Amino acid sequence: MTDKQIRERLVSLIDLTSLNDDDDAPRIEALCQRALTPLGNVAAVCVYPRFVALARSTLNQLGAPDIKVATVCNFPAGDASVDQVCAEVQQSLESGADEIDLVYPYRALLAGDTSQGLELIATVADLCEGRALLKVILETGELQDPELIRQASEDAIAAGADFIKTSTGKVNVNATREAADTMLSVIAAHGGSIGLKPAGGIRTLEQALGYLELAQWWLGEEWVTPQHLRLGASGLLDDLLAQTGGAGY
């Protein structure tokens, strides 16, 4: 692959995200405009539930209906009740969300309770079936222990997740290659049918290539598509575009 082709491939894997407390309509509209780049379109934009309808209409107006709209639920603490989460998911789906990024109740797992996570994910998976992709955020930087990360990955997959995702980006430790390696080992053991989304702190081409190479090692180059690998890495886009500009593309 040429340098430009590598950058285009990475752009196609990005979930371009804005999850700030002070987000407003102009910022979300600007995010959607940024999703259409000289290196091609990103895979998705990820916004708070209240901005889903705006993001969808803006992308459609920009002539980019294929860019998915993702939103976050049970975010960021992962400690809402099942009823609260289901109401949030249902509203997001009705607003036009294509993908739900659901925070796994990781504190329950830390306390030794696996049933809470299984119940929540299974319930949300039923809501999403045939309507939206379900990405489950494990918050691996808080779980820390590779065996807990493995347990959370297994539980998420068993309960119906389409993707497992490392982090919310709202804690001290977010995506790491070590966590991604553990998650990919579980995905590989399940035949590669589940996707992976490293998220949080991925800001450079070098960092992104590390995750790309890890995914290829476990599952092969053909597995690395937006259907299986996403990068929650808005800062990465700046680096890819800046270096591309410098290369004269």
Q: Which residue out of 101, 155, 162, 239 is catalytically annotated?
A: 101
Q: Which residue out of 98, 155, 165, 239 is catalytically annotated?
A: 165
DSSP state string for 230-244: -BB-HHHHHHHHHHH
Residue 165 designated active-site = yes
Q: Which residue out of 98, 135, 155, 197 is catalytically annotated?
A: 197
Residue 101 designated active-site = yes
Contacts of range 205-213, beta carbons closer than 8 Å, 24 or more positions apart: 205/6, 205/7, 205/10, 205/236, 205/239, 205/240, 205/243, 207/233, 207/236, 208/10, 208/233, 208/236, 209/6, 209/10, 210/177, 211/175, 211/177, 211/180, 212/9, 212/10
Residue 135 designated active-site = no
Active site residues: 101, 165, 197
